[in-house]
Amino acid sequence: QKEVEQDPGPLSVPEGAIVSLNCTYSNSAFQYFMWYRQYSRKGPELLMYTYSSGNKEDGRFTAQVDKSSKYISLFIRDSQPSDSATYLCAQTGANNLFFGTGTRLTVIP
Amino acid sequence: DTGVSQNPRHKITKRGQNVTFRCDPISEHNRLYWYRQTLGQGPEFLTYFQNEAQLEKSRLLSDRFSAERPKGSFSTLEIQRTEQGDSAMYLCASSPRGDGIEKLFFGSGTQLSVL
């Protein structure tokens, strides 16, 4: 079993829609969770990170961690065509990050 | 601060050849990481440096792979006797002194194609 599991999609939504991206994790020992955005032929870009459980909001983006179900979520409000990218969830290990496979999102104008 | 820089951006090589990639981290970032990403997958950890010391290596890093970070600045990743299975995007990342791995900044990667 991989440390972090993520539905690869792809996911297509109309502009302005609310997007929900989800991951599950297996190891409760490490408590930092990250969301990265990756455009084609580029490296991942850190969007936001949360520690332990709860919500964190940054503009149109909200990250949520539910420790009881080992669930990580990213919500994007008022989605824009520029949000079209692959979104990667990640969890810290001792000295590295464990990534999900990434969900490819397309926002249709 | 121009971000993490990786060279070359693309490398095409024949099976059995050696290749070397370079990474220049963000200035004064003391931690440097190498990851590998194949199509449709998330990045996988290869190795980690704190300053010039290589502190951890993944089991993915076979004997054909070697990484160095002389003087704790730039880093190189060499693959000897390349195989077709080595074809992937090789990503370098760095994090600031005092911050944890939750703040990793990635470069744009080196795309390796082994023919």
User: Token pair of B62, please?
Assistant: 């076979």
B93, A43: Cβ pair inside 8 Å?
yes
pLDDT score recorded for residue A93: 82
pLDDT score recorded for residue B34: 96
Q: Write the pLDDT tens digit of every residue in A43-90.
A: 999 999 888 878 899 999 999 999 889 999 999 999 999 999 999 999
A101, B55: Cβ pair inside 8 Å?
no
Measure the CA–CA gap between A65 and A54, rounded to whole angstroms: 5
Higher pLDDT, A94 or A87: A87
Q: Write the pLDDT tens digit of every residue in A4-31.
A: 999 888 999 999 999 999 999 998 888 8
Measure the CA–CA gap between B33 and A16, rounded to whole angstroms: 37
Chain A residues closer than 8 Å to B55 by CB: 95
A43, B58: Cβ pair inside 8 Å?
no
Q: Give, in order, the Cα–Cα distances in Å from A28 to each of A71, A77, B6, B19, B36.
A: 11, 29, 34, 38, 25
| A32, A88, A102 member nearest B100 (Cβ) | A32
Report the half-sphere exposure of B76 (CA within 13 A, side-chain side).
10
Q: Give, in order, the Cα–Cα distances in Å from A9 to each of A28, A96, B84.
A: 25, 25, 27
| B33, B40, B55 member nearest A8 (Cβ) | B40
How many whole angstroms from its chain centre is CA A108? 20
List, in sequence order, every beta strand (DSSP E) within chain A: 4-6, 11-14, 19-25, 32-38, 45-51, 54-58, 61-66, 71-76, 85-92, 97-99, 103-108
Higher pLDDT, B14 or A92: B14
Chain A residues closer than 8 Å to B113 by CB: none
pLDDT score recorded for residue B99: 65
pLDDT band at B1 (very low <50, low <70, confident <90, very high): low
| A42, A49, A92 member nearest B108 (Cβ) | A42
User: Token pair of A95, please?
Assistant: 């000295």
Q: Write the pLDDT tens digit of every residue in B27-57.
A: 888 899 999 999 989 999 999 999 999 998 9
Chain B residues closer than 8 Å to A90 by CB: 42
pLDDT score recorded for residue A83: 97
Whole-angstrom distance between the N-terminal and C-terminal Cα of chain A? 37
DSSP state of B25: P
Q: Write the pLDDT tens digit of every residue in B60-108.
A: 888 999 999 998 899 999 999 999 999 999 999 998 876 666 688 999 9
